[in-house]
Amino acid sequence: MQSHWNLNYVILMALMGIQVMAQNTSIPAVPTFNDFMRFSCSELNIQRIDPLVTPDLVPSPHLHQFVGGNALASRMDPSMNISDKATCTTCTFSEDFSNYWTAVLFFHHRNGSFHRVPLMANLGLEKQRGGMTVYYTAPYDKKTKVTAFKPGFRMLIGDPAYREPSPNTGEYKSIAFRCFTEPWGPAPPASEIGGVWDTRHFPDKPCPYGLRVNNFFPTCWDGVNVDSPDHKSHVAYPSNGTFETQWECPSTHPVKVPQVLYETIWNTSAFNDQSMWPTDGSQPFVFSMDDSTGYGWHGDYLFGWKNDALQRAMDNFCGTDCPVLQTQSVEKANECAKSPIVNEPIDGWLESLPGYTPVTF
């Protein structure tokens, strides 16, 4: 590692393993904690609802894990101002009442039963209760402005029906799996997300210290619509460059928005005994939408920041320390929860995935 890279950079790279691209001299070559809003959002609940894709179907086809504000409901129309409805949030930035959710990971025992894999806290965020790590990033050059999302805004990355790579190259490259075969390693600190240490599907080996899934959302918006029929068409990935390199947005989506990243880490340590794995040696993990490939991974986002809080943070190019935002302790965030609408067994050994029976391979 080059000697001029500072300690914050080394720590940051160890925490998230993100690639730094410095192809323009106006962009700092050594991003630090001051370049990323990185915070924990503890578990709100785990249940079969999907306010974005199937709001009228309760229970929804598969299980999701939710974090964020307690305004969560099976239907959350764009006209609803989430921050006015919520009374608490599981996120440590206390003005963030957004809802963030992903699919849920299960272990499939060779005897046919399933067990939900618990979530684990990230490095530096050890006190959080399940959930995920959320990142919002303004441009590294500290000059380029981005437009915060508007009330009612929502978007989706991935597709639960995929069992092969996404046909959208930007989307395909935005999702990556990392298998920890030693504590937070062995990938070196500056390793690229989606690079040689990662896969775009489930790893084919045991991950004794956890399995991490990253997904980056698009950073270009059409500037008009807070949603679209497929919950994707109103946003786009850059037409040229990347978020780190003064990217260009397509003419159809000219408005630059913050980069949102989910980092979800599953504690797979209880499932390392390969006598429980399939007899043919195939990998035993399956997502809650009956996906044993990993290609069906998806993340959903409903914006819910209070008033202009996110815009203030982006205008000030906030990092982990953001004086213009209000915060709360992890302990306080952990207190926020909401009883599930759908009550069904999701823990212990189950005969089938909630809402499903066969697993597709």
Beta bridge partners of 342: none
Q: What is the pLDDT of residue 34?
A: 72
Residue 263 CB contacts under 8 Å (≥ 6 apart), including other chains:
16, 122, 132, 133, 134, 135, 212, 213, 214
Closest to 166 in 3D by CA, of 187, 197, 194? 194
Q: What is the pLDDT of residue 17?
A: 44
Q: What separation in angstroms does the CA of 196 have from each of 29, 205, 216, 350?
A: 21, 15, 18, 35
Q: What is the pLDDT of residue 13?
A: 45
Q: Rounded to whole angstroms, how far apart are CA atoms 302 and 153?
A: 6
CB-CB contact of 103 with 97 (8 Å): no
Mean pLDDT by runs of 10 across the 361 residues of the chain is 32 43 40 80 98 96 97 95 96 98 97 96 92 93 92 97 94 94 86 88 93 96 98 95 81 97 96 92 93 96 98 94 96 96 96 76 49
Closest to 202 in 3D by CA, of 163, 237, 252, 150? 163
SS3 215: strand
pTM attached to this predicted model? 0.90
What are the pLDDT digits (tens) for 322-353? 999 999 999 999 999 999 999 999 999 999 99
Q: What is the pLDDT of residue 66?
A: 98
Q: What is the pLDDT of residue 207?
A: 93
Task: For residue 107, give the H/E element and its range.
Answer: strand 105-108
Closest to 315 in 3D by CA, of 153, 147, 104? 147
Residue with tokens 């209070």: 306
SS3 361: coil
**Residue 280 corresponds to which amino acid?**
D
Q: What is the pLDDT of residue 190?
A: 67
**Paired sense of beta strands 105-108 and 285-287, if any:** antiparallel
